[in-house]
Amino acid sequence: MQKRVVITGLAAISPVGTGKDKFWRALVAGQSGIGPITRFDAAAMPVRFAGEVKDFDAGLFFDRKEARRMDRFAQYAVAGARMAVEDAALDLDKENRDRVGVIFATGIGGMETFEEQTRVLLERGPNRVSPFFVPMMIANMAAGQISINLGTRGVNFTVVNACASGTNAVGEAFRALQRGDADVVITGGSEASVTPLAVAGFAALKALSVRNDDPTRASRPFDRGRDGFVLGEGAGVLVLETLEHARARGARIYAEVAGYGCTADAYHITAPAPDGSAASRAMALALEDAGLKPGDVDYINAHGTSTELNDRQETLAIKNLFGADAYRVAISSTKSMIGHLLGAAGAIELVATALTIATGVIPPTINYEEPDPECDLDYVPNVARERQVAVAMSNSFGFGGHNAAIVLRKL
């Protein structure tokens, strides 16, 4: 018999703030975290703004030597894991650490380290490349560093699945707990790719908004004037436990993880399939897994990237599955405020979705000014909405045609 799984700890490191509470207050207030790039000189870049994490202090979590040996994506992951464990009031010294796992996601990994060490190689020669280059850069090191830092010895692996990575990681953590492979899994995703090469690469792909003169209004999912996504960074981390384990220790429960589905478009390396059928099927599989119907869903945290094709195709996918209920369900994109965190996007959006269920407040889609006739659903425009949410879904769709959806339920 499959075990039930619940969320007991949450953490966020984001362009609108570090810490679950600061993150949530900003989302509910409709605050944008998008602004001019400060991490490097972007004057020559075609895109000169992003969603940077501005208030993260590595010194609160690591000594100087330890921090120097971690790329920022791993720093965000470990700091987020520690905050989520604290939020869950989980005393790891009282746990069987062989039964505590880490399943974590990133889309790109140590991009900043890769760029820095490439410059070292080209300017100073191969003998000056850091011996920590590889263990700082490789994508699995977020999961590895979390387990080293917290002493967890259970199931441990990394999901790299483009923009669906975070949702897939949480889904796979859900599956591991259902099967009985662990009692607790620390899961989520992290990304730190506001770097010159990443910005230049996404800009060359024509994927990014070019509203350099108005960055706070650049991310505008489902709005007719959308012109591309805004690159973001940070981490979303969740502590998942079996319901039995959570109740035995008297844990606070934010929501139950009820269902998970994932599919592939088998269509194109960057564009979503025009008919949205595989995205619809991922949502349908998640609902079927949860034993629910589309009419049971109160809220969808959309992938909602602010790109022309994605927003249109996600709207179509929701209509395909939900039918008339598509016009009833509340939908919002938190990317309008924090940008697109790539491999961490699905994770931080699940943090927001769990908080929606726990608080009865739906965050808005900001910068929604001009309706698009092809995007005609209820996107909770500009102002948060108080509404009790019993069932919520979070969607993620990635380059390569990866689709993933998770259903959360109020316990």
CATH number at residue 40: 3.40.47.10
Strand partners, 189: 105, 236
Structural domain containing residue 351:
259-409
User: 254 lies in a domain?
Assistant: no
Whether residue 163 lies in the annotated active site:
yes
**326 pLDDT band (50/70/90 cuts)?**
very high
174 shares a domain with 268: no
333 shares a domain with 235: no
Q: Is residue 411 within 8 Å of 247, Cβ to Cβ?
A: no
From the list 5, 27, 34, 163, the catalytic residue is 163
User: 253 lies in a domain?
Assistant: no
- Beta 234-242 vs 299-301: how paired, if at all? unpaired
Of the chain, the percentage scoring pLDDT greater than 70 comes to 100
267 shares a domain with 236: no
264 shares a domain with 184: no
100 shares a domain with 244: yes
Question: CA-CA distance, 258 to 389, in Å (whole number)?
Answer: 14
Going by C-beta distance under 8 Å and a sequence separation of 6 or more, which residues neighbour residue 301?
Answer: 332, 333, 334, 349, 350, 352, 353, 356, 392, 393, 394, 395
316 shares a domain with 222: no
Mean pLDDT value across residues 358-371:
98
* CA-angle at 188, arms to 185 and 190, nearest 5°: 140
pLDDT, tens digit (0-9, with 9 covering 90-100), for 178-198: 999 999 999 999 999 999 999
The pLDDT score that the predictor gives to residue 108 is 97
b/e string for 152-166 if b means 16 or more Cβ within 10 A? Answer: bebbbebbbbbbbbb
Please name the residue that has the structure tokens 């309008």.
Answer: 336
Query: What is the DSSP track for 360-381?
Result: TEEPPBTT--SBBTTB-S---B
Mean pLDDT value across residues 224-238:
98
The pLDDT score that the predictor gives to residue 369 is 97
Q: What is the torsion angle, in degrees rounded to the nearest 10, for the CA atoms of residue 377, residue 226, residue 197 and residue 79? A: -40
pLDDT, tens digit (0-9, with 9 covering 90-100), for 246-298: 999 999 999 999 999 999 999 999 999 999 999 999 999 999 999 999 999 99
If one counts the domains in the chain, the total is 2
User: 232 lies in a domain?
Assistant: yes
Of the chain, the percentage scoring pLDDT greater than 90 comes to 100
Mean pLDDT value across residues 148-173:
98
User: 38 lies in a domain?
Assistant: yes
Q: In terms of C-beta density within 10 A (0-12 exposed, 13-18 middle, 19 or more buried), how is residue 205 classed?
A: exposed
243 shares a domain with 272: no
81 shares a domain with 17: yes
- Beta 5-14 vs 255-264: how paired, if at all? antiparallel
Long-range contacts of 64-69 (CB under 8 A, 24+ apart): 69/132, 69/135, 69/136
The average confidence (pLDDT) of the chain is 97
* DSSP three-state, residue 16: coil
User: 298 lies in a domain?
Assistant: yes
Of 195, 222, 248, at which residue does a domain stop? 248
Model pTM score: 0.97
Mean pLDDT value across residues 60-86:
96
In 3D, which of 269, 200, 191, 182 has the Cα closest to residue 232?
191
* CA-angle at 13, arms to 9 and 19, nearest 5°: 55
The pLDDT score that the predictor gives to residue 406 is 98
**216 pLDDT band (50/70/90 cuts)?**
very high
The pLDDT score that the predictor gives to residue 1 is 82
300 shares a domain with 278: yes
97 shares a domain with 205: yes
Of 248, 270, 292, at which residue does a domain stop? 248
Of 248, 277, 306, at which residue does a domain stop? 248
14: amino acid identity, one letter: S
167 shares a domain with 221: yes
Query: In this model, does residue 223 exceed pLDDT 90?
Result: yes
The pLDDT score that the predictor gives to residue 279 is 97
Mean pLDDT value across residues 367-388:
97
How many C-beta neighbours within 10 Å does residue 214 have? 11
Query: In this model, does residue 98 exceed pLDDT 90?
Result: yes
User: 178 lies in a domain?
Assistant: yes
210 shares a domain with 280: no
Mean pLDDT value across residues 139-168:
98
Query: In this model, does residue 215 exceed pLDDT 90?
Result: yes
